[in-house]
Structure 1
């Protein structure tokens, strides 16, 4: 079954089944105690029931999370990171503070399931590994900054499912592809001059989808109801995402 989940700025999460003809059918609606900021996990739900089957107690409000079974990573307020092994889903495997100094905006698990990337509002990305034996491979780097030293949030990070390279997209309207092993940038997209709010590679990595619209990074005063909210599909060339030889 192909399933689509949607949350808006209320306390409800709506679930649809995507049928083979492309049509959708409503399947369920769940209610949280407060606004739902992301459609991944903070409670565990069985779509056949109306009640959660498990709950994880987080140290702070959940801002972002990602899952690549059995790895789940949650980023909360006050820079907390919670790593969960879904083989034991209600007990955090590790909890620690982000190595980045400012608020976490996004996390993305590696396809190899041995680590994850973190993006923050300070225009930085950190590469983290689960096992202590790989900690020497961790690093962070600056991105999504302009020549005037203006700093923009890293709104989303998406990993290519085959090559393990990844994209970053920010409030500056820029998208970039990166190779963490070679520690270098692979490609920059032309700036769209509007924040990128979400990104994703499809299952085989041949299509890269991204959405454009206001991300509230400058507050209510800069919100314009007439601004277009648009989803784009980009055909991915292998040379743009294939890893490079390390320098």
Structure 2
């Protein structure tokens, strides 16, 4: 695939790909060039190639081609587009063929960018809108539709060829995060509402419940086998919830991203498609790999001493991208202008993410 729009030069921020190896999970982790001039809100990999896409608070949607050989990684900047008015971009997803990026943000627009094409004025085509900023977006494979969830308490479903939503659902509160895995969609809202839907065909609500965690939901991720989901909160806890009865498996919650009396938000949860294990990243600058089935931590990386906002495994599961930047959880008053905005790619060793066998309890 060829790419059209050239990458604009990124502002030179303190520590941007110049920081020491202590600011990454492992010394050999590759620092991605041109990661943007403001906080990184999401990372997504193509399912068909090692193309990595990020969204930023500076209005940019960026794409890199990532190459891996013998554990050595390099990321080549390929293209960048910007939301209108450089409005903050809060999330993105990709089409199953890996050719199209759908992004949403503070401009209240659902936008579509065909990789390899430079859109007019370098602004992706608008295919939908909400009445308030849009927090999250996903792709429904079975119906070839895009779903967006906003602060207007609405879920909207889009056919990219039509200007009006195909369907829309009123929610009890603002959307904080959503995730789709084949037929399962899970939506985490303000007020600790969690809703699950069967999206095989016309979306049908399966269940709505209160989060098993006591404080505000921060992120949610569906299991790769569609039997349930993991939800993370600002209190440094993760809830494992089953929506389909699985013999020998029960819902539970566990503590993470805590140190003594200090409690940190779980900013993102990402599943490894091959093993069904998962990562959590937090405001404490720590990445953990977990095995929910055997209830154990597989790998705890040293803290990088800066907030990690989001992360994602590639389709093959041998690369793990993670982003370090301000997460805006404490508002503009706590934002330091020279906070580095960095993306790293870690070569995943099998022993780091593969289940190790049954043990009692997390450790």
Q: Give the TM-score, by structure 1 length.
A: 0.92
Aligned structure 1 segments of 4 or more residues deviating by more than 2 angstroms: 5-10, 23-28, 39-42, 87-91, 131-136
Q: Secondary structure at the match of 1:177?
A: strand
**1:38-91 CA distances to partner (integer Å, 9 max, x unpaired)?**
223321111112221111221111111100010000000110110000025443
RMSD (Å) for aligned C-alpha atoms:
1.8
Seen in structure 2, the aligned counterparts of structure 1 residues 195 and 134 have a Cα distance that, compared at 3 Å, is farther
Ranges in structure 2 where 5+ consecutive residues have no aligned partner? 1-96, 139-146, 148-154
Runs of 5+ consecutive residues of structure 1 not aligned to the other structure = none
| Length-normalised TM-score, structure 2 | 0.64
Output the CA distance in 1 between the equivalents of 2:347 and 2:100.
23
Counterpart position of 1:144:
257
Q: Which residue of 1 aligns with 2:176?
A: 63
Alignment length (residue pairs): 243
User: 1:8 maps to what in 2?
Assistant: 105
Query: 1:110: which partner in 2?
Result: 223
Find the counterpart in structure 2 of residue 128 from structure 1: 241
Is residue 2:325 matched to residue 1:206? no
Range 1-10 or range 199-208, more displaced: 1-10
Using the alignment, how far apart are the partners of 1:82 and 1:134 within structure 2? 23
Please tell me whether the aligned partners of residues 56 and 91 of structure 1 are also in contact (alpha carbons under 8 angstroms).
no
Point out the structure with max Rg over C-alpha. Answer: 2
CA contact (8 A) 2:227 2:245 kept: no
Question: Structure 2: how far apart are the matches of 1:229 and 1:5?
Answer: 22
Partner of residue 97, structure 1: 210
Indicate the residue corresponding to 2:341 in structure 1.
Answer: 229
Distance 1:99 1:151, change over 3 A: same
